[in-house]
């Protein structure tokens, strides 16, 4: 059961009874979520996100169209069996107040008839996974948890039977930004290990960009406004609605998607303490970038010497360098890199490897240059 399964919507529409023609909750939705990837449904309140999720596990039946989980049409499946194979985190968490945290988490395994030893082991494993030490939390009732802890239990409950597909409806909606950030990161690292097919609902575009391999932007009436990778959506919004929805700062948001490792670092003039100053001066003067980077023998940066400050004779010394500009890791996002550069007096950040050794430099110009081509290809 743990094998991931793709989820496919084919021309799916849902109109609630009693609503006017053309004002559906979901309108002719077609999209495919490949197995093992995360698709985020994002859009303003009331645009049909929750409805779309509930169509997958048949809490709601579509008016027309069909939905495949794996390769099977859900309409032909027993809803109760289907739901036990699909993890669901509901928008309002919905823990069972009369059951302990442990009993809540083991709900689906119990329905599937697992024996109590296996259930217990699984529950403890999951509570640890979502960052709640089992010994402390297993026997508490939901009323004795904070909002963030409840949402974690909700996630653990959805994962309990190791379902191939996970539906998450604003799973981190009710917590403060710091806790949300932590829960997001935890889910990302959990997902790295599990590779579930996840449909994740949010109305927060930043969360969508962060969590999604693909993002589906929905607009009022349940119409799909755009479906693509976060970078595609930020670089080329398909309509004014999408452009407005992703925000005027979409350029900066794209920066958050790319990392220093995606850039080809540039070379600068380097030297080591003890090297001939005259030689170094000759090299730096010849370079359009008028700074000399002084490195230790193992490659770790010491700092910069301005080209004109390099003495005409003698040896280079550690004391000549002014301390190094921001050190960038290949995992640093370009957004963070740019903001570090703006905050320091030098134009360049030094890219270092895991051991801290110099690899090259990245300048603010290189970062903005990198964002340009995709943006131009829009017109």
Partner 1 sequence: MIDWPWMADHLDELAFRLVQHFFLAAIAVGVGFVISLAAATWVARRRRLRGLLVGTSSVLYTIPSLALFAALVPVTGLSVLTAEIPLVLYTLLIFVRNFLAGLDSVAPEVLEAADAMGYSPRGRLVRVELPLALPLIVGGLRLASVSTIGLVTVSGILGDRFGGLGFFIFEGYRRVFATEIWFGGIPAILLAVAVDLVLLRVQRRLTPWAASEAVATGRQAAGAS
Ligand X SMILES: Nc1ncnc2c1ncn2[C@@H]1O[C@H](COP(=O)(O)OP(=O)(O)OP(=O)(O)O)[C@@H](O)[C@H]1O
Smallest separation, CB 69 to Mg ion (Å): 20
How many Å separate Cα 92 from the centre of its chain? Answer: 22
- Is residue 217 close enough to count as binding ligand X by CB under 6 A? no
Q: 189 is written with which tokens?
A: 């690292």
Q: How many CA atoms lie within 13 Å of 235's alpha carbon, on the beta-carbon side? A: 18
Cβ neighbours, 10 Å, residue 293 = 23
With binding defined as CB under 6 A, does residue 261 bind ligand X? no
What is the rounded radius of gyration, in angstroms, for the C-alpha atoms of the chain? Answer: 27
Looking at 79-87, 183-191, 204-212, 305-313, which segment touches partner 1 (CB under 8 A)? 79-87
Phi, psi (deg, nearest 5) at residue 352: -120, 155
Stretch that binds partner 1, among 91-99, 223-231, 243-251, 266-274 (CB under 8 A): 91-99
Give yes or no for residue 52 binding Mg ion (CB under 5 A). Answer: no
- Window contacting Mg ion (CB under 5 A); options: 35-43, 46-54, 110-118, 360-368: 46-54
Residue 194 has a CB neighbour count (10 Å cut-off) of 17
Q: Are strands 165-169 and 197-202 parallel, antiparallel or unpaired?
A: parallel
Answer yes or no whether residue 58 interacts with ligand X by CB under 6 A.
no
Interface residue with Mg ion among 37, 50, 104, 191 (CB under 5 A) is 50
- Quick one: which of 8, 9, 49, 234 contacts ligand X (CB under 6 A)? 49
Is residue 95 close enough to count as binding partner 1 by CB under 8 A?
yes
Query: In the complex, what is the shortest distance from the CB of residue 24 to ligand X, in angstroms, rounded to a whole number?
Result: 8
Decide: is 203 part of the binding site for ligand X (CB under 6 A): yes
Q: Which of 8, 47, 127, 334 binds ligand X (CB under 6 A)?
A: 47
Identify residues 40-59 at the interface with partner 1 (CB under 8 A): 57, 59
Choosing from 20, 21, 76, 81, the residue that interacts with partner 1 (CB under 8 A) is 81
By CB under 5 A, tell whether 269 contacts Mg ion. Answer: no
> Which one, 46 or 306, has the nearer CB to Mg ion?
46
Q: Does 16 bind ligand X (CB under 6 A)?
A: yes
Residues that bind partner 1 (CB under 8 A): 57, 59, 80-84, 88, 90-100, 107-108, 111, 140-141, 143-144, 157
Residues that bind Mg ion (CB under 5 A): 50
């Amino acid at each position: 059961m743990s094998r991931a399964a793709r989820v496919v919507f084919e021309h799916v529409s849902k109109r609630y009874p009693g609503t006017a023609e053309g004002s559906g909750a979901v309108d002719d939705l077609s999209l495919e979520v490949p197995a093992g990837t995360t698709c985020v449904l994002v859009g303003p309140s009331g645009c049909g996100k929750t409805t779309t999720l509930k169509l997958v596990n048949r809490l709601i039946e579509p008016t027309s169209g069909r939905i495949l989980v794996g390769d099977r049409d859900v309409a032909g499946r027993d809803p109760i069996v289907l739901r036990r194979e699909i993890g669901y985190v509901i928008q309002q968490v919905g823990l069972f107040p009369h059951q302990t945290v442990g009993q809540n988490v083991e709900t689906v395994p119990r329905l599937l008839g697992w024996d109590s030893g296996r259930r217990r082991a699984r529950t403890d494993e999951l509570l640890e996974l979502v960052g709640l030490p089992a010994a402390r939390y297993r026997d508490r009732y939901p009323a004795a948890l904070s909002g963030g802890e409840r949402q974690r239990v909700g996630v653990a409950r959805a994962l309990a039977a190791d379902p191939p597909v996970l539906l998450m409806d604003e799973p981190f909606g009710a917590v403060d930004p710091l806790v949300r950030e932590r829960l997001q990161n935890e889910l990302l690292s959990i997902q790295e290990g599990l590779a579930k097919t996840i449909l994740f609902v949010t109305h927060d575009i930043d969360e969508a960009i962060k969590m999604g391999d693909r993002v589906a932007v929905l607009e009022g009436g349940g119409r799909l406004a755009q479906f693509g990778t976060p970078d595609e959506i930020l670089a080329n919004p398909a309509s004014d609605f999408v452009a407005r929805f992703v925000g005027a700062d979409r350029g900066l948001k794209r920066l958050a998607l790319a990392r220093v490792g995606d850039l080809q670092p540039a070379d600068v003039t380097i030297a080591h303490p003890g090297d001939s100053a005259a030689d170094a001066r000759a090299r730096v003067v010849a370079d359009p970038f008028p700074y000399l980077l002084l490195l230790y023998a193992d490659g770790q940066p010491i700092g910069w010497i301005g080209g004109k400050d390099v003495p005409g004779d003698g040896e280079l010394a550690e004391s000549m360098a002014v301390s190094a500009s921001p050190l960038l890791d290949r995992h640093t996002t370009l957004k963070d890199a740019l903001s570090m550069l703006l905050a320091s007096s030098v134009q360049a950040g030094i890219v270092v490897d895991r051991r801290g050794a110099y690899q090259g430099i990245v300048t603010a110009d290189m970062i903005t240059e990198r964002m340009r081509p995709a943006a131009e290809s829009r017109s």
